[in-house]
């Protein structure tokens, strides 16, 4: 197993569970992939042949004719790029395809019972991803000058993708939503591929109000919200804007999002310094 595949397996199993991608005990080049589809669909299990030269050469789905294999083979062809790891995009592609089919079936059931479908949200009227996901000029500090009183972290660039994090203090969910709506009127942020947001508010009685939005970057909002919990920050809203640079990052994009978010929270003073328990006062004589 080469380093690229080893790192990818560790990332996948950390994100989706310990048995998302596991090797076969009888063949070192055969693996079982179990993407975490919804509870509606039966658990999909795919046997893959991963050549020793991966990612320079593509993996192959061995279960031809099995349930879901045709869909999986189609998704694999769409996400494969010579020399780039692909299993994260394969898993997300399968989740999207299978989840879309289940949503269509659910809509048909609702229609058959004369239940009107819910009205379209503002997200559904946004430009399609194919239109906005284009390589764009990375933002500069001058671009974000109008974001005050937001605290802006330095832009982080990874393989031509740019991540720009900003945070601001909030005390109510209504205020957080108003600030998100307001900042997204900025034309430069409207051109971002994704504007991921999360807020965490802790009331005087200890109750917590929190929410997040992926804005098309699957699972990014929940991971950002988890970061706010782990860091124990209070009364803060964080927005991470990403401009896609044309090269897929896979799981590395979550690392970039968290790194950028941490930087903004530190700069904004939302991270409390913990005093060392080893510090002791001088004993009086």
In a domain, 117, yes or no: no
Q: Say yes or no: 102 and 147 in one domain.
A: no
Phi first, then psi, for residue 23 (nearest 5°) are -85, 155
So what's the pLDDT on residue 131?
40
**pLDDT tier at 15 (50, 70, 90 boundaries)?**
low
So what's the pLDDT on residue 166?
94
So what's the pLDDT on residue 235?
94
Question: Tens digits of per-residue pLDDT, 134-185?
Answer: 444 555 544 444 435 899 999 898 988 899 999 999 999 999 999 999 999 9
Q: How many angstroms separate the Cα of 225 from the Cα of each of 31, 33, 57, 129, 149? A: 32, 28, 37, 23, 22
Final residue before a domain boundary, out of 83, 111, 139: 111
Q: Say yes or no: 252 and 143 in one domain.
A: yes
Q: Say yes or no: 138 and 259 in one domain.
A: yes
Tokens of 105: 């079936």
In a domain, 139, yes or no: yes
Q: What is the DSSP letter of 145?
A: G
Average pLDDT of the residues in 85-95: 78
Q: Structurally, how many domains does the chain consist of?
A: 2
So what's the pLDDT on residue 22?
86
The alpha-helical segments, DSSP class H, found in 52-186 are: 69-79, 87-112, 129-132, 173-183
Question: Tens digits of per-residue pLDDT, 207-244?
Answer: 999 999 999 998 899 999 999 998 999 999 999 999 98
Give the domain extent around 81: 3-111
In a domain, 153, yes or no: yes
Q: Say yes or no: 135 and 77 in one domain.
A: no
pTM for this prediction? 0.48
Quote the CA–CA distance of 148 and 7 in Å, as a whole number. 39
Q: What is the DSSP letter of 117?
A: P
Quote the CA–CA distance of 204 and 52 in Å, as a whole number. 57
């Amino acid at each position: 197993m080469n380093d690229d595949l080893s790192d990818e397996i560790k990332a996948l199993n950390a994100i989706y569970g310990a048995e998302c991608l596991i090797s076969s005990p009888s063949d070192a080049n055969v693996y079982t992939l179990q993407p975490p589809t919804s509870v509606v669909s039966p658990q999909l299990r795919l046997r893959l042949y991963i050549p020793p030269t991966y990612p320079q050469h593509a993996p192959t789905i061995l279960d031809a004719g099995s349930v879901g294999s045709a869909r999986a083979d189609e998704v694999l062809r769409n996400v494969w790029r010579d020399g780039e790891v692909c299993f994260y995009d394969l898993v997300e592609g399968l989740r999207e395809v299978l989840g879309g089919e289940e949503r269509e079936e659910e809509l048909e059931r609702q229609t058959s019972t004369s239940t009107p479908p819910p009205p379209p949200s503002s997200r559904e009227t946004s430009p399609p991803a194919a239109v906005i996901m284009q390589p764009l000029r990375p933002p500069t500090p001058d671009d974000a000058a109008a974001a005050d009183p937001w605290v802006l972290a330095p832009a982080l660039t990874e393989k031509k993708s740019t991540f720009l994090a900003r945070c601001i203090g909030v005390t109510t969910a209504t205020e957080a939503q108003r600030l998100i709506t307001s900042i997204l009127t900025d034309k430069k942020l409207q051109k971002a591929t994704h504007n991921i947001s999360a807020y965490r508010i802790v009331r005087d009685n200890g109750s917590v109000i929190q929410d997040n939005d992926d804005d098309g970057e699957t699972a990014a909002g929940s991971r950002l919200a988890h970061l706010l919990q782990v860091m124990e920050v209070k009364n803060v809203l964080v927005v991470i804007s990403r401009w896609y640079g044309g090269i897929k990052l896979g799981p590395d994009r979550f690392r970039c999002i968290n790194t950028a978010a941490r930087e903004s929270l530190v700069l904004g003073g939302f991270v409390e310094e913990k005093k060392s328990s080893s510090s002791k006062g001088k004993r009086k004589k």
